[in-house]
Structure 1
Amino acid sequence: MVTGMRRVEKTTLLRQIFERITSDNKLFLDLENPLHQKYFEEIDYEAIAYEFSTLGLNLKMRSYVFLDEIQFVRTMPSIVKYLSDHYPIKFFLTGSASFYLKNVFSESLAGRKYLYELYPLDFEEFLTLKGESAKVPPDYITRESLYTHFQTQYKEYVEFGGFPGVAAKSSAPEKRDALNDIFSSYFNKEVLQLGDFRNNKIVRDLMLLLLERIGSRLDISKLSAELGISRLTLKEYLAFLEGTYFISLVRPYSRSRDVEIRGAPKFYACDSGLAMQIAKVEFGRVFENAIFHQLRAQGVALNYYRKKTGVEIDFLVTRDKKKEAYEVKLKGTERDQNTLDRLAQELSIEDASLISFHFASKAKAWYGFQV
């Protein structure tokens, strides 16, 4: 199963896999298409198997069935389980509702599924799409000319994000139009069709508020008061937005697991470009949002650290059971590095790095494009 936010090209990936299957005994169905949804409305699952056979699938031999956007068929987990149990079918699936996919499928296909989460492009993938062949330097950069070479493209990456369809556009107006379309598509396809909420306007307002405040701690009481809804309703909305990849949560680090779970998480948007263009967020927050995505793409566990005094470390990364500390600044200074080192020492973390957007000649900093 491939899951992820809308417009991260899950369908493109699924079709590429479909084309690489050498067998002709395969089938591709798009479940956003009402005509394709109709095949799965049968109460008798044997009737669905019959529909597959009428579409050219030989169910007596190994078959490959590709189903795109399965969240539009609520009974899909039980259908896939039944057909997998009774026929030699290998399913390849995509969907954008991770809560639905992870929880329902985990019950019906325990031990027989592989879940792959697809996210917007990281910076190296962005460069590849742009046809840029130069390798990002792995060491500290001391020459401003080398910094400038990569920074021009990295600034575009931060401002417009990593959605492939946006990155492929050549002009800023085209990119903005594409980002507006992604926001609209998410609201219409996920919120309106899947959410089944009583007040969709409040969900829209919540989405905009969250985009404006990326990188902040989640204050349930304040948000519920601003929107005029109960804390319970707000939590339901937030769970949906997280489960459909619109936002991601980063929990505070504590040596006590119970304290970590109870602490207020920070939240980030699905894409820095979406926050920058839809909500007009200040650049420092958008830069931090981009760094979050670059770190997450490395498959590491992420937390943040905050003391009672309010001093914090933006990201604590757990990689191979070792912790790393990262502080994100528009222009890193020696003072920033010293503060980070002191906080990291309190946590017995040896690897502490300052990440700067602007060239920092007087600080030993990494740059966003090196993350």
Structure 2
Amino acid sequence: MIRPREIYEKIRPYFDSPEAIIVTGMRRTGKTTLLHLVFDQIKSKNKLFLDLENPLNRKYFEETNYDRIKVSLEFLGIDFTGRPFIFLDEIQMVKNLPSVLKYFIDHYHVKFFLTGSASFYLKNLFTESLAGRKYIFELFPLSFREFLLFKESALRIPETATDITRPIYEAIRPLYDEYILFGGFPGVVLKSSAEEKRKALEEIFSSFFQLEILQLGDFRRNDVIRDLMLLLIQRLGSRLDIQRISKELGISRPTLSEYISFLEGTYFIKRIRPFSSGKDTEIRKMPKVYVCDTGLANHLARLDPGSLFENSIFQNLGLKGELNYYQKKGGTEIDFIVDKSQAYEVKVSPQESDVKRLRSMAMDLKLEGFKVVSKNYSDLENVIYGFML
């Protein structure tokens, strides 16, 4: 049974557009499943699905003579006298693919649906060759609402925090605890036992390291980038001090910056930049770092509940818009600001003083609104729960 993702409704309006559809994101987030779902929804019989992790399928696109590629696609059943729909999974495996796609879009009006797990590659190579010929969508681990659908839960989260009574909260809490602890990778969510979930997380990390770090990254010091990944997990939610980390790992700052950019470009981490308000008291330079999935982070580093909860809020708020954080030199901070307008402060058990402080800072920064995000039950005003995002 294929469970549709929220992103599917965003992609569907572009099924018949001339542009290529590219779905990118961390490995094992469900890109291939989504591609199969879209393939099944295309009514035309003039369609083809190829997995480019299969070396035999890659060979079709490695020809320098594009007419020979056309012959191969005709051999596989594509009719170029009508409109073809071609689905290619894991396109980062074929380095010359962007120019091939451009040729077939321009000459034969082929509709391409593509997936890839390395955004740094896709964005760099596709920017020029497919300018004006593509739409890029990013697929992330499950939101909590998607998690409930995958768990086949009948629970429906109330829209307002005042409607969440303690019995409703207690009914949601076990599922939310599981979501935070084991994360939102679909293959992990669908496992029944904790042991199966841990094995699935281990396999996801091993696959990422083997296919992204060792094969795609081609770094000279794979042991250093491994240590960097573990170090960043242990410091999630903290400001990224490049000088200090470079000394700890014994590598230069340019090399460290290259490694961090690669990890972000393959969706393992995400850097959150400071909010710019023009005030001298703002800490401007250092981004904060978060990990793609709480389950993966906890599996690799065994983090404290507060850090895991904050990372989970990052994952779900990141689906709503651009994220920044704000921190004064004195240490007072706002964890997340969405689209430079809505402030969110994350607290496992918020106090009235947390609400007052956030209200004051939001007003000072002239933000449109604010909420304190709680994990535990609370009856305070301007407090919502993480599972409501």
Which range, TM-score by smaller chain? over 0.9
Note the alpha carbon deviations across 1:170-197, whole angstroms, 9 max, x for none: 1111111111111111000111110011
Look up the equivalent residue of 2:70 and give its one-letter code: A
**1:370 and 2:382 matched:** no
**1:51 and 2:69 matched:** no
Question: Partners of 1:356 and 1:88 in 2: how far apart?
Answer: 50
How many residue pairs align between the two structures? 367
Q: Secondary structure at the match of 1:52?
A: helix
The equivalent position to 1:204 in structure 2, one of 213, 221, 226, is: 226
1:103, distance to aligned residue in structure 2 (A): 2.4
Note the alpha carbon deviations across 1:3-40, whole angstroms, 9 max, x for none: 00000110001111111111111111101011111112
Question: Partners of 2:222 and 2:66 in 1: how far apart?
Answer: 34
Question: Partners of 1:368 and 1:247 in 2: how far apart?
Answer: 20
TM-score normalized by structure 2? 0.91
Question: Partners of 1:363 and 1:55 in 2: how far apart?
Answer: 61
Question: Partners of 1:145 and 1:101 in 2: how far apart?
Answer: 47
Look up the equivalent residue of 2:192 and give its one-letter code: S
1:362, distance to aligned residue in structure 2 (A): 5.4
Inter-CA distance 225–235: structure 2 relative to 1 (3 Å threshold): same
The equivalent position to 1:333 in structure 2, one of 345, 351, 361, is: 351
Partner of 1:34: 55
Partner of 2:168: 146
Identity percentage of aligned residues: 54
Question: Partners of 1:211 and 1:181 in 2: how far apart?
Answer: 18
Partner of 2:7: none
Q: Please give the residue correspondences for 1:113-262 in structure 2 after superposition, counting only pairs within 5 Å.
A: 113-141=134-162, 143-256=165-278
The equivalent position to 2:117 in structure 1, one of 96, 104, 110, is: 96
Cα contact 1:39–1:48 (8 A) shared by 2? yes
Question: Partners of 1:325 and 1:165 in 2: how far apart?
Answer: 32
* Structure 2 residue ranges without an equivalent (≥5): 1-21
The equivalent position to 2:310 in structure 1, one of 288, 310, 325, is: 288
Inter-CA distance 337–261: structure 2 relative to 1 (3 Å threshold): closer
Question: Partners of 2:32 and 2:372 in 1: how far apart?
Answer: 37
Question: Partners of 1:262 and 1:77 in 2: how far apart?
Answer: 37
Question: Partners of 1:344 and 1:265 in 2: how far apart?
Answer: 20
Partner of 1:265: 287
1:152, distance to aligned residue in structure 2 (A): 1.3
1:360, distance to aligned residue in structure 2 (A): 2.5
Superposed structure 1 runs of 4+ greater than 4 Å apart: 259-262, 361-364
* Structure 1 residue ranges without an equivalent (≥5): none
Note the alpha carbon deviations across 1:84-132, whole angstroms, 9 max, x for none: 2222311110001111112221211111111111111100000011111
Question: Partners of 1:71 and 1:350 in 2: how far apart?
Answer: 41
Note the alpha carbon deviations across 1:275-332, whole angstroms, 9 max, x for none: 111111111111001001111112x1211000010110001112xxx71111001111
Q: 225-234 vs 80-89, which deviates more?
A: 80-89
1:227, distance to aligned residue in structure 2 (A): 0.8
Question: Partners of 1:256 and 1:39 in 2: how far apart?
Answer: 54
Q: 167-176 vs 138-147, which deviates more?
A: 138-147
Look up the equivalent residue of 1:323 and give its one-letter code: S
Cα contact 1:97–1:245 (8 A) shared by 2? yes
**1:82 and 2:103 matched:** yes
Partner of 1:303: 324
Cα contact 1:252–1:263 (8 A) shared by 2? yes
1:228, distance to aligned residue in structure 2 (A): 0.6
Question: Partners of 2:376 and 2:270 in 1: how far apart?
Answer: 26
TM-score normalized by structure 1? 0.95
Cα contact 1:334–1:364 (8 A) shared by 2? no
Cα contact 1:333–1:363 (8 A) shared by 2? no
Partner of 2:367: 349
Partner of 2:38: 17
Partner of 1:323: 341
1:350, distance to aligned residue in structure 2 (A): 4.7
1:211, distance to aligned residue in structure 2 (A): 1.2
Look up the equivalent residue of 2:367 and give its one-letter code: I
Look up the equivalent residue of 1:123 and give its one-letter code: F
Inter-CA distance 212–116: structure 2 relative to 1 (3 Å threshold): same
Look up the equivalent residue of 2:252 and give its one-letter code: S
